[in-house]
């Protein structure tokens, strides 16, 4: 048995005004108040971080952001630094989500810099990786994961990365209702853990949490969590509703 504490994380993407975010977060806090042995995170849009932090403060629910910029401050219009996220109450930050890679020019190099900035500020980075449908069909899943892990974590040593969380999100399973099968997910997670072991050693590979993301719902979370290398979930659509997200949190 591993000793990894599961993490169930909600990525709210570009949904919810501040009043909607505060309402959902408040309901979630109530619904998960009786949970234990599971870490919980929600990541609202930047403008809702501060009001939501006031609702989740002192509760079972941790706060995360969906992105950051690696410089500390400066003339970078529209960007937000790691320290600014900390000052808004964040403990986590999602880095390298496939939507950022696809629409906003995120690369393994920018991911690498963002992870350093997050760790320096004491944030827990949630590094997202995963192959597209074309890549899977071309038999490139492992080589894509290999590159994303090795380039994203280039020049790090295990001691730097103690807080790191990895999220495997096959792009073809995001928002499609078509979750990876438990076998597909387990195979990818096991491969990612073996990559981490090769680069950072067995102790870190055994400790690092690898979340699955892509059409996670209350109906499929338990089967996924039964897999030995799946340590939690990064949930999009089903995290927007406090009831459905709390059922995922209570997968046991």
Site residues for ligand 13P per CB under 6 A = 11, 97, 169, 174-175, 213-216, 234-238
Active site residue 131: no
> Among residues 145 and 205, whose Cβ is nearest to ligand 13P?
145
> Among residues 66 and 200, whose Cβ is nearest to ligand 13P?
66
Torsions phi, psi for 4 (to 5 deg): -75, 130
Q: How far is the CB of 182 from ligand 13P (least distance, A)?
A: 16
Active site residue 189: no
DSSP 3-70: -PPPEEEEE-TT---HHHHHHHHHHHHHHTTT--S-EEEEE--HHHHHHHHHHHTTSSEEEEES--BS
Cβ pair 33, 59 in contact under 8 A: yes
Q: How far is the CB of 72 from ligand 13P (least distance, A)?
A: 26
Point out the catalytic residue in the list 131, 169, 187, 189.
169
Sign of the alpha-carbon dihedral angle for 186, 187, 188, 193: positive
Distances from the Cα of 79 to the Cα of 2, 72, 82, angstroms: 38, 10, 10
Residue 202 DSSP SS3: helix
Point out the catalytic residue in the list 97, 106, 135, 189.
97
> Among residues 189 and 205, whose Cβ is nearest to ligand 13P?
189
> Among residues 91 and 97, whose Cβ is nearest to ligand 13P?
97
Mutual angle of helices 46-56 and 18-31, in 10-degree steps: 30
Residues marked active site are found at: 97, 169
């Amino acid at each position: 048995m591993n000793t990894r504490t599961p993490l169930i994380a909600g990525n709210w993407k570009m949904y919810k005004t501040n009043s909607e975010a505060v309402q959902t977060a408040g309901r979630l806090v109530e619904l998960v108040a009786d949970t234990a042995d599971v870490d919980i995170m929600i990541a609202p849009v930047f403008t809702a971080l501060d009001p939501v932090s006031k609702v989740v403060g002192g509760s079972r629910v941790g706060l995360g952001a969906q992105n950051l910029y690696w410089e500390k401050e400066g003339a970078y219009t529209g960007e937000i630094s790691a320290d600014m996220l900390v000052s808004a109450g964040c403990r986590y930050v999602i880095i390298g989500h496939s939507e950022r890679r696809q629409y906003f020019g995120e690369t393994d190099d920018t991911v690498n810099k963002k992870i350093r900035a997050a760790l320096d500020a004491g944030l827990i980075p949630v590094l997202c990786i995963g192959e597209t449908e074309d890549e899977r069909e071309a038999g490139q899943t492992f080589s894509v994961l290999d590159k994303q892990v090795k380039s994203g974590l280039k020049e790090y040593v295990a001691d730097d990365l103690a807080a790191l969380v990895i999220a495997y999100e096959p792009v073809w399973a995001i928002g499609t209702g078509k979750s990876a099968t438990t076998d597909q997910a387990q195979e990818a997670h096991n491969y990612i853990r073996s990559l981490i072991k090769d680069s950072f050693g067995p102790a870190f590979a055994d400790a690092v949490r690898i979340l699955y993301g892509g059409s996670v719902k209350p109906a499929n979370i338990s089967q996924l969590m039964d897999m030995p290398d799946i340590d939690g979930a990064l949930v999009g659509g089903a995290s927007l509703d406090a009831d459905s997200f709390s059922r995922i949190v209570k997968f046991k």
